[in-house]
Structure 1
Amino acid sequence: MAKPPPDPALQDCDPPPSGRLSRERMLACALEIIDREGIEKLSMRRLARALDRDPMSLYRYAPNKAALLDGVAETVLNELTVDPADPDWVGQLRAVARSYRRIALDHPNVVPLLVTRPLATPLALRPRGTLRPLEAVLALLTRAGFSGTDALHVYRALFGLLHGHVLDELQELVDNPDETDDLLRLGLHRLPIGEFPLLRGLASVLASYDGAAELERGLDILLTGLTATLTPRP
């Protein structure tokens, strides 16, 4: 009888050093499973198998799957650094935006935990690790002279742009990748000419989508508008 294929959840999750399990190791393994297979494949039982542990032992570090997912989000956001003491607030926000995009591209399956999951959780009940970027950006901007209210507006505008951008970039699909004609590659030839002439005319631009360049253009528009309409106090 042929052996069943190995469980993907058991791959690449090394056993904890010295046989000891920690919250950090558990979350790192959960992130590996999500990166490889998606959020829907993660469960406490599957994670326990990957760590060669009894499922009940994991509840010491996460009481349920929701808490586990929150921990994964915190783990990923730990990679996002904000320097609130940077005197160049515009340059720092650009650096934060580029870093956020890199994190999203490195962990595309985690993006729903970063973008949509927080919307279902009241602000004060969100994991503290997910609030630290907000606090750091507010500190950066208030030190630059913005009022607290204006600093919050800037944060919301920036992360609204970032969330929309990463969702767009990760879902950018080509209908017929083997086609050399841009109209055919994108499938825009199926649209009625009379109804969507402008969209069809942008086929070459749409086909040459560059996520990094698109983000920079969006930041140019956003930050130029912010500096023109919001004046930091001296």
Structure 2
Amino acid sequence: MDERTGVFRVYRVVNAVPHINLFDTDATRLYTVYQSGYGERQPAVDDLRTGDLVEATLGGDPDDSDEAWSLLSFERLDRVAMDFAVDAEIPAVAAALWEPGLERPASTVLEENGEQVAECFVQPRAPLPGGAFVPSVLTGLVPMESLLTELPGIGEPPTDAIFIDPDPPDADSYSRPYGVAVLFTAEADELLAEFRERYDLPADADNRPEYDPYGL
């Protein structure tokens, strides 16, 4: 068994998937890790949330692509609280950002009482697997680790993130060619509350969409 030690971003995917994805923030590699079978350490593993940043050691066989890795040890370093809204109305600020033919994410800074407290991004579907937005976020396939470290338009790290998809996860076609991410700093208060209320996203709730990616 080989071991890999590093700092990883946690992606819990959805309930129908019996694994956790861990994104190696240095090697920029995604590891699939068992989420059960840890004995007395199981409650700590169960407490991991999408958006957690952990220092961990993984054990596994790098030559066996069909076998998941195991979490040998880990310590949570930080958390960006992530929430998800699907089949939802796109906020006007995001609709105004989008331009036909856009190939890379575009963003704008949002203010609260004259202070910069959030940044809104539109992510083109084109480079994502199957064009799916929220499912790609949930599995760790959207390249955004740099944004989770520091928001480029503000220069501060986010503490909360809301991902908005105008279509359901099992959509055969898409009403808009992009998804939306709104990342908030610790200074966001009323603005974050407004987004949570608008999209019915209570704090500390598991609002990952219920769907089976194996059945899509």
- Normalised by the shorter chain, which TM-score bucket? under 0.3
TM-score under structure 2 length normalisation: 0.23
As a proportion of its length, which structure holds more strand? 2
The structure that has the greater radius of gyration is: 1
As a proportion of its length, which structure holds more helix? 1
TM-score under structure 1 length normalisation: 0.21
